[in-house]
Structure 1
Amino acid sequence: MLNDDKIRAVLVDDEELARKLVREYLSDYPQVEIVAECSSGREAVKRVNALRPDLLFLDIQMPELNGFQVLERLERIPCVIFSTAYDQYAIKAFEVNALDYLLKPYDRERFDEAMQRAFERLRSRQPAENLVALLQALQAERDAPHRFWVRTAGCLKPLKPEAIDWIEAMDDYACLHVGPERHLVSQTMKELEAKLDPRTFMRIHRSTIVNLDRIKEVRPVGDGSFRVFLKDGTRLSLSRSQAKKLKKYIV
């Protein structure tokens, strides 16, 4: 690579402004040709497998399929530059596996550094080795939710689990209720239930997980079921089966 041929690149990010920024920065690299742009993980899998680019700019947090899931579905792994809002602990996994990252928000200088690393890999024809180890390390970080990353006013902001009042199922997504705010995350209730601390969070219904510290009281409603009242006045249904589990918290 890096002879007289163009470096073929694909941009993957669900935010148009993020793709626009990469396009702008790449305008200083005439040897790079953008062959496709994708706004979702599913689209990215199809286009990357069909086009087989040399370089892939890949956002991590996207609906339907995130960046990790996209990589797992690719027939061939190109040189990858991730866009990520993960903290330094997770970023080390990128560094030791010779893949690069752009920590949002990033500037042109940081972008240029990532491009130089990409050029070095393309010159040496270094394969995307240790990809499995990379994905496992990042999966481990995701499975221990020290924080969630949520979109607010076009930005990604950290949200600690203990700030969540309750969680509502929405098909393959979940809505995090934090005071008056609502944040949609691309995880199922089953996934969240497995990750959250069971000493603080409990699934009280097939569509509801509640922060136990937010409960004001639980009342029977006459048909054998119950209502959970939160301190902010929110009313939630408590299934009969889960009511039995809740009793273990009663002293």
Structure 2
Amino acid sequence: MEPRHVASQPKPLCALVVDDEAPARRRICDLLARDDDVASVLRAENGVAAIDMIQRSRPDIVFLDVQMPGVDGFGVVEAIGPENMPLTVFVTAYDHFAIRAFEVEAIDYLLKPFSGRRYEQTMERVKERLADPRPTEGDSAGGFGPELLELVAKRATPGAIWDWIAVKSRDTTRLLMSEDIDWIEAAGVYVTVHSKGDAFLYRAGLAAVANRLDPFRFVRIHRSHIVNVRSIASLERRSHGEFEVMLKTGTRLMMSRTYRGEVEAILGQPL
């Protein structure tokens, strides 16, 4: 009888999660815990601890927060050396770190808040690379997700994605930083931009404005409303699948069922 061929089992993975914020660490650890291919999950609260764990434990993959007090994510890479780093996924809320992530050859880059599906895409990429570490034609730009590649391409074109909105009033042009915008409301051929308790009229339709805003920071919750995710304080369930969105300013807005999926995607969890 010929010996039966047994398919080799993939090596159990060891992952390291580095983030100074406990909720962020816990979310990634919870996602990794559901993966049968991940045997152990290590945790580090800062860059110094991460350097020690990488040198001692040699994890297969590290989810590395960029912004941390003291030694940040890039400081960890510099201390270990890019050539000695495990497969690295940078995790941060700020997309302008993307270019540096390319430079240190990270395999992927997760922008907070990321969806469960986006995390799964990252792990698929990680496992493919571990199974066959040879670079492939599709591995250019470090194997980053298509949405980040598109975002970086837009960043290379001045004004394609707004870091600010230029609001004109008579003879004055005022620059509103996009991070300071709480929400935007449709007003016919205009929109009303709400920022720090003030309201400004801007001549453009809501759809046109939405196309220029950072999709990782702003989400449409209604045909008439776009909100900055960082301005949301809570979401309260109402009837017929709708939610009321409470902003940190105290403003209450309705989220329609039509846009619920978009909100769940940017939050990374169902409502």
Q: TM-score range by the shorter chain?
A: 0.3 to 0.5
What TM-score, normalized by structure 1, do the two folds share?
0.47
